[in-house]
Each structure stands twice: as structure tokens, then as C-alpha cells.
Chains A and B, each alone.
Chain A
Amino acid sequence: MAFDLLKEAKNLPRRHLREGSYLYRIGDLNDQHMFVVLSGTLIEVDKNEAFIKGNEVTPGGLVGDIETMSKAPIRLQSYKCLTKEAVLAIVEKREADLMGSLHPEFFLTLLKSSIDNLNAAERELIEKNSRQISA
């Protein structure tokens, strides 16, 4: 049977957000939790909270995994609630390790997310360097 993150996460502790409230902001201390969206939608906004930066994160989506898996001291992204409300499942690292041992697809999801974020950040740095060189 295919791995269903939404189903796996539904019995975990929850956090509720209202429209416009932040799950966390860039620079916040990292509480070492990642979150699975159970209902509602989150959106990533930029450092100045002025522009939408990433895609919408809908039910079954995962956020906070980079900071948690890297044990970063602070949050490196900002997410806020886009819908009237959102319900999130809180996933601690040990829970993530357990889930990955039972469902390798979850570890693949985490690896894919890390690779995608690494590639996106490196692309931004390369583009920025190119702009500086041509200026």
C-alpha cells in the first residue's frame, strides 16, 4: 500500500493557525519540529514578508523539515496561513525517524526536499553572482 503522509500524521499533536498568522518567521528560534499540513493552506513569504516566495503548501505537504533535519538554530523560511484556518500535525525528529524506518518513501520525501531546497538556493546564489559580474 502506498505511503500516505496525511494518514500517518493525523494522530500526531496538532497546531492550529488562523488566516494571516505565522507558523514561524525567518530568524525565529528553531523548536526542532517539522509540520504536516492536515487542512488549510500555508504560503511561504520572503524575508521582508512583502512577497510570496514559494508554492502554496496544501494538505499532505511538509514544512520545517530542512531546519529540523539539519538541526539549524533558527528558521530559514517564513510560512503563514493563507486560508481561514489551518491545522498542522507536529512531527518531532524522533517521530520522523520512526516514520522513515516504517516507510522508506518518507525518507525519500525528506531527501527530495533537501535536494530541491539546496538546488534552489544554489541557483539563487549563481544568478546573484552572474548579475554582479555583468553589472
Chain B
Amino acid sequence: MVTPAVHKIVPFVVQKGTILFAEGEASNGYMYFIFSGEVEISKRTLGTIRTLSAGQFFGEMALVRAIARTATARVVSAEAKLGRIDLKTFAWLARNNPKFLSNLIGVVATRAARAMKKVLDEA
């Protein structure tokens, strides 16, 4: 679980069915943290990839790539409390809470390592 620096990330509440971003649309440059509730990540060709809950995050690609969103993020709980950060906040967090960012990168690296291991196992 990654606990963000909450005083720097302004939380907002969204209702069930809200689409934070849709596959193919231009990125707004934000990645999101979930404080409460559940968000489903899906792709048109694959369906639901994962359902995320409190302490997890999504949309991180927006911080490093100026490309269209590669998946759709939709709130599936009755409501969800989320926070979002942009590149400027990312840089602030790196300076003021490097452990947090190190953990965040660790989570993405772990997702990558699991996928890479699966590729090797299926080769």
C-alpha cells in the first residue's frame, strides 16, 4: 500500500459510474490515488484488468508519457474518495517525501516484475 502525502494532494469525492478517464482520450497529466472506494481499470479488448481500492493508485503513465490514456478508469463503489497529482506535485514529493515515491515506483516495478515473470514462465 502506498500512503500519499495527504496535505499536498487535495481529495475529491466521486459517485458510482464516474469515469475518471477513458481509453483513447487525451491525458490530463494526472495520476490518481484512492483514499476510499473502488475503481475499475478496463480495456476495450480485454475487459476489466484490475479493480483497485484504498491505498492503491492508477493513471501513473500520464506523468511520464504525453500519450492518450491506454485504459478506462471507472468508479464501481457507491462513491470513492480520490486524490490526484501532476508532475509538479511529483517533483515536490520527490524532494519532501522520497520514501513515498520510492514505494510508489516499487509498486509499479512489482507489477512489471510479475508480468515479466509470467512471460518467462509461458515462454
A residues with a Cβ closer than 8 A to B are 26, 47, 65-72, 76-77, 93, 96-98, 100-101, 104, 107-108, 110-112, 114-115, 117-119, 121-122, 124-126, 128
Contact = CB atoms under 8 A, between A and B. Distances in A.
Interface stretch (B1-9, B12-20, B61-69, B73-81): B61-69
B119 A121 contact: yes
A124 B106 contact: no
A40 B106 CA distance: 28
B contact patch SS = helix
Chain A at the B interface: SS class: helix
24 contacts: A69-B106, A72-B117, A97-B99, A97-B102, A100-B102, A104-B94, A107-B94, A111-B64, A111-B105, A111-B108, A114-B105, A114-B108, A115-B60, A115-B61, A115-B65, A117-B112, A117-B115, A121-B112, A121-B116, A122-B115, A125-B115, A125-B118, A125-B119, A125-B122
Contacts of B70: 119
Given A76-B120, A125-B118, A128-B122, A111 B113 contact: no
B113 A65 contact: no
Interface in B43-64: 45-46, 60-61, 63-64
B112 A107 contact: no
A72 B120 CA distance: 14
B46 A115 contact: no
Contacts of A72: 110, 113, 117
Contact of A114 (B45, B65, B94, B109): B109
B116 to A, nearest CB: 5
B108 A77 contact: no
Interface of B: 45-46, 60-61, 63-65, 70, 90-91, 94-95, 98-99, 101-102, 104-106, 108-113, 115-120, 122-123
B60 A111 contact: yes
Contact of B118 (A47, A97, A121): A121
Given A100-B94, A108-B64, A121-B119, A66 B113 contact: yes
B115 A71 contact: no
B116 A66 contact: yes
Contacts of A76: 113, 116-117, 120
A30 B30 CA distance: 33
